[in-house]
Amino acid sequence: MRRKIGQIQWLRYLIFVCGFLLFWEWLRPLDQISDTGNLPIFVVFTAICFLLSALKLRWWVSFLLKFVLMLIVLQVFLIQENLISGSWFTFILTELQNNLQFLFTGDFVSLTPFFRTLLFLTLLWLMSYLLYYWFIVANRIFFFIIMTFLYIGILDTFTPYDGSGAIVRVFLISFFAMGISTFARLYQGREKRKFPKQVLLWSIPLLSILAVSAAVGYAAPKLPPQWADPVPFIQTMSDNNNENEGEGGIQKVGYGENDSRLGGPFVQDNSIAFWAATEASGYWRVDSKDVYTGKGWERSRDAEPQSFQSGDQVGIDLYTENVATEAREAIVYPSQNQVLDRLVYPYGVQTFFSGQVGAAVDSDFGVVETFNRAQYPDENYTIAFEEPQYNIDDLRNDSELDDDNTHYRYTQLPEYLPERVRELADEITSSADTRYDKAKAVEQYFNQNGFQYQTQDIPVPEDDQDYVDQFLFESKIGYCDNFSSAMVVLLRAADIPARWVKGFTAGQPGSNPSVSTPDGMSSYLVTNGNAHSWVEVYFPETGWVPFEPTQGFANPAEFTSEEDEAPETPEAETETPEEEQSPAPEQPEEQQQEEEQVADSQTDSNSVHPLYWIIPSAVLLIAALALYVTRYKWLTAYYIRKYRNERSEETYEKAYHYLLRLLAHKGFKRHSGQTLREYAITIDREFGNKQMSELTSEYERILYRNEKSAPAWINAVELWENLIKQAAS
């Protein structure tokens, strides 16, 4: 008998291992969808927690071990102070104090990494306990399996995480676990000596079915998705959806380094970003980045916005005084549904005029952040700008003598950039003499060499692949990010300073339904689909000149030439709306919003963060659910303690009725027409003793004979406790 229990337990532990593997699948995506680093350490921590749970140590021993383990992990990660020294304790104390304060004010972004790690470790700990309960004690694994599938599915759908490998692994593990669990259930109550044979008889078909179904599933043709990608779809469908809030659940994705991983497909999103009335249409600039990582774009330093007043010179100097300009004005009406926390501006921006909205600018990157946009969602702003006209001759005759700083900063490339990219850059630019011609040559290169504008099936570079290299030599398909990044990298490889710029295209001409267009201006509707990225090339005597490598887009900047009076490049008006519609990418925009969202929550702590409500209520909900699901566990413990020493007249009755409830919960329900005596007999038959009948006959005397129950309870309490424990186990 003993050995048989051991064998069953052995199977349970096998299932528990499967549980750990499944939980591992929960951890795997974290480094992609959040800024969690050092995942292996967390996995090891989880594994040890699982092991400790399985070892069935005394609760305080395992608690102590886990606690120490947690401190070690924290020490390894974060705490500067030595684990043994006293300052360590003070450190934790202050950390806890500060963070609890943040927690209660809803200021979740300010939580320190230490506290976050602490919370995360606690969560892992709790999960190890929960899974131990589910897998070994309750033997209910299906729920967790379903949850794992849902989790992977949701992550795969809504985040950049690619769950196709995970889903196969989860399938294999969970199928196996369920097979073993079924076997364990069937095997209970069989003869022990047949165990090895039974295992063999069971596991061989199980494994072969597993292998066959996995192989069939893997090889079978799969339909493409039947529905559009739900994220933009949901955003477009919900009218009053505040986009930033709507993304609350996943906005942490790529926090702070949103362009650091480019690639992958996207789906058109036509929700309105803003309306603009302008005297001269052109691209709306939002941001620029200077460091190419091989996977995407980052900043060489964090943006350091300086605040400025309405009407001040913002100081974003993109060109020198040599450039001919024309004074213009534009008004931007941001969409109320989408609080953009950046101000968009055209080339040549001088000043912003806005009544309420405070802003700060990092003129180097050209980022204009706002503090309190969320409070004035319908506040428009006016921009005075000097529209530049670049003279091609001047560009051609440029001295090309960059100052060292600029040159160094904007010609940096990753160390591991494949050599063939440099070779290609040389090949393209060798025939051109001037920087302008070289830039033009690169810009034109994409038009001729089999590159295609496409938004679907865009690969994400593998770990050992370079984003630009992949685009230039392998996929040759992509959207603006691919084209613009490739151009910047090629220019830099040819030793020409260039940078990557984000913003919106001019948009679609239309009439703003809410505001009439001022005289001399025309209105444009700019949607999220108009989000775009392009290239700026540095000319020492002219400044930063925009180039447009993306197929199907035309550079809206004005270029003049003395030889040729007509602008060399057509203006925005020639751009057909269809053209602009179809290739307009959404992904940069989405990322931009995320970035701004984070920026907002960091700078503007007065506004109520949506997480303020979501997290506590979710925590409460989960806690309530957990309490409800486990109610008979803790209620039983509670009642045993309570009634053990209680001697009141009602105790017997209450205790007896709790026992009835517990038994009903465990599947032995008394139907209403059944007498207690009959019921007690069925229960006794189930438990193989006479305790319930004894307890019941005493209770009958109390109930139907009106006897005093307190004395009877003293005698019955032990009986009751036995029964309760028997029923609860």
Partner 1 sequence: MTKLSTYHPSVSRIIDNINKVIIGKEEPIVLSLTALLAGGHVLLEDVPGVGKTMLVRSLARSVDCDFKRIQFTPDLLPSDVTGVSIYNPKTLEFEFRPGPILGNIVLADEINRTSPKTQSALLEAMEEKNITVEGNALPLADPFFVMATQNPVDYEGTYSLPEAQLDRFLLKLRMGYPNAQEEMQMLDAVGMKHPINRVEPVMTKADLLKMQEAAANVYVAPQIQQYIVDLAQISRSHPDVYLGLSPRGSIAMMRAAKAYAYIHNRDYCLPDDVQVLAPFVLGHRILIRSEARYDGLTPERLVHRLLGAVDVPVERESVHER
Shortest distance (Å) from residue 165 CB to partner 1: 57
- Compute the half-sphere exposure of residue 139: CA atoms within 13 Å on the CB side of its CA: 14
Stretch that binds partner 1, among 95-103, 282-290, 637-645, 652-660 (CB under 8 A): 652-660
Shortest distance (Å) from residue 646 CB to partner 1: 17
CA-based torsion, 265, 271, 272, 273: positive or negative: negative
Residue 657 interacts with partner 1 (CB under 8 A): yes or no: yes
Residue 403 tokens read as 């100052």
Using alpha carbons, select from 53, 69, 52 the residue that is nearest to residue 117. 69
For partner 1, which residue of 104, 227, 416, 704 counts as binding (CB under 8 A)? 704
For partner 1, which residue of 681, 710, 712, 728 counts as binding (CB under 8 A)? 681
Using alpha carbons, select from 187, 263, 268 the residue that is nearest to residue 228. 268
CB-nearer residue toward partner 1: 208 or 674:
674
For partner 1, which residue of 150, 675, 690, 708 counts as binding (CB under 8 A)? 675
CB-nearer residue toward partner 1: 387 or 684:
684
Residue 620 one-letter amino acid: L
Residue 576 interacts with partner 1 (CB under 8 A): yes or no: no
Shortest distance (Å) from residue 661 CB to partner 1: 12
Shortest distance (Å) from residue 679 CB to partner 1: 9
Distance CA 313, CA 308 (A): 8
Shortest distance (Å) from residue 700 CB to partner 1: 6
Using alpha carbons, select from 305, 345, 283, 335 the residue that is nearest to residue 506. 283
Residue 669 interacts with partner 1 (CB under 8 A): yes or no: no
Shortest distance (Å) from residue 717 CB to partner 1: 19
CB-nearer residue toward partner 1: 326 or 649:
649
x/- site string to partner 1, residues 610 to 649, per CB under 8 A? ----------------------------------------
Residue 70 one-letter amino acid: M
Total number of residues that touch partner 1 (CB under 8 A): 19
CB-nearer residue toward partner 1: 647 or 657:
657
Residue 367 interacts with partner 1 (CB under 8 A): yes or no: no
Are 507 and 477 spatial neighbours (Cβ–Cβ below 8 Å)?
no
Three-class DSSP category at 151: helix
Q: What is the DSSP string of 306-357?
A: EEE-TTSB-----B-TTSEEEEEEEEEEE-SSS---B--EETTEEEEE-SS-
DSSP letter (8 states) at residue 521: -
CB-nearer residue toward partner 1: 156 or 653:
653
Burial of 498 (0-12, 13-18, 19+ CB in 10 A): buried
Stretch that binds partner 1, among 134-142, 466-474, 582-590, 671-679 (CB under 8 A): 671-679
Shortest distance (Å) from residue 226 CB to partner 1: 51
Are 718 and 653 spatial neighbours (Cβ–Cβ below 8 Å)?
no
Residue 660 interacts with partner 1 (CB under 8 A): yes or no: yes
Stretch that binds partner 1, among 69-77, 250-258, 302-310, 695-703 (CB under 8 A): 695-703
Residue 331 interacts with partner 1 (CB under 8 A): yes or no: no
CA-based torsion, 368, 106, 35, 155: positive or negative: negative
Residue 672 interacts with partner 1 (CB under 8 A): yes or no: yes
- Residues ≥6 apart with Cβ < 8 Å to 185: 139
CB-nearer residue toward partner 1: 196 or 673:
673
For partner 1, which residue of 355, 513, 673, 688 counts as binding (CB under 8 A)? 673
CB-nearer residue toward partner 1: 653 or 721:
653
Three-class DSSP category at 371: coil
**Opening angle at CA 262, ends 257 and 263, nearest 5:** 155
CB-nearer residue toward partner 1: 45 or 639:
639
CB-nearer residue toward partner 1: 525 or 680:
680
Residue 417 interacts with partner 1 (CB under 8 A): yes or no: no
Shortest distance (Å) from residue 671 CB to partner 1: 8
CB-nearer residue toward partner 1: 88 or 687:
687
DSSP letter (8 states) at residue 135: I
Q: What is the DSSP string of 460-492?
A: PP-TT--HHHIIIIII-EE-HHHHHHHHHHHHH
Using alpha carbons, select from 420, 442, 412 the residue that is nearest to residue 429. 442
CB-nearer residue toward partner 1: 85 or 697:
697
Residue 712 interacts with partner 1 (CB under 8 A): yes or no: no
Q: Residue for token digits 């048989």? A: 4
Distance CA 23, CA 44 (A): 12
CB-nearer residue toward partner 1: 640 or 703:
703
- Torsion angle of the four alpha carbons 19, 21, 25, 30, in this order, in degrees rounded to the nearest 10: 100
CB-nearer residue toward partner 1: 227 or 704:
704
477-478/452-453 β-pairing: parallel
What is the b/e burial string over 6-36, where b = at least 16 CB atoms within 10 angstroms of the residue's CB?
Answer: ebbeebbebbbbbbbbbbbbbbbbbebbbeb
Q: Residue for token digits 């795969």? A: 156
Are 276 and 331 spatial neighbours (Cβ–Cβ below 8 Å)?
yes
Stretch that binds partner 1, among 172-180, 236-244, 477-485, 699-707 (CB under 8 A): 699-707
For partner 1, which residue of 56, 677, 690, 708 counts as binding (CB under 8 A)? 677
Beta strands in 506-565 (DSSP E): 508-509, 522-527, 531-539, 543-547, 558-560
Shortest distance (Å) from residue 168 CB to partner 1: 53
Strand order in the sheet with 498-504: 345-346, 284-289, 498-504, 531-539, 543-547
* Strand-pair partners of 352: 383
Shortest distance (Å) from residue 653 CB to partner 1: 7
- Residues 53-112 close enough to bind partner 1 by CB under 8 A: none
- Is the backbone of residue 219 left (phi > 0), alpha (psi -120 to 50) or beta? alpha
* Strand-pair partners of 117: none
- Residues 537-556 close enough to bind partner 1 by CB under 8 A: none
Are 481 and 265 spatial neighbours (Cβ–Cβ below 8 Å)?
no
CB-nearer residue toward partner 1: 58 or 705:
705
Distance CA 275, CA 403 (A): 39
**Opening angle at CA 253, ends 248 and 256, nearest 5:** 105
For partner 1, which residue of 2, 104, 671, 688 counts as binding (CB under 8 A)? 671
For partner 1, which residue of 653, 686, 694, 721 counts as binding (CB under 8 A)? 653
CB-nearer residue toward partner 1: 644 or 677:
677
CB-nearer residue toward partner 1: 197 or 671:
671
Residue 678 interacts with partner 1 (CB under 8 A): yes or no: yes
Residue 341 one-letter amino acid: D
CB-nearer residue toward partner 1: 598 or 680:
680
Shortest distance (Å) from residue 677 CB to partner 1: 5
Shortest distance (Å) from residue 196 CB to partner 1: 46
Kindly report the backbone phi and psi dihedral angles of residue 616, in degrees, each rounded to the nearest multiple of 5, phi listed first: -60, -40
**Opening angle at CA 150, ends 148 and 156, nearest 5:** 105
For partner 1, which residue of 400, 541, 700, 721 counts as binding (CB under 8 A)? 700
Residue 701 interacts with partner 1 (CB under 8 A): yes or no: yes
Shortest distance (Å) from residue 725 CB to partner 1: 22
Shortest distance (Å) from residue 668 CB to partner 1: 15
Residue 676 interacts with partner 1 (CB under 8 A): yes or no: yes
Residue 710 interacts with partner 1 (CB under 8 A): yes or no: no
For partner 1, which residue of 577, 674, 708, 711 counts as binding (CB under 8 A)? 674
Shortest distance (Å) from residue 660 CB to partner 1: 7
**Where along the sequence are the contacts to partner 1 (CB under 8 A)?**
653, 657, 660, 670-678, 681, 700-701, 703-706
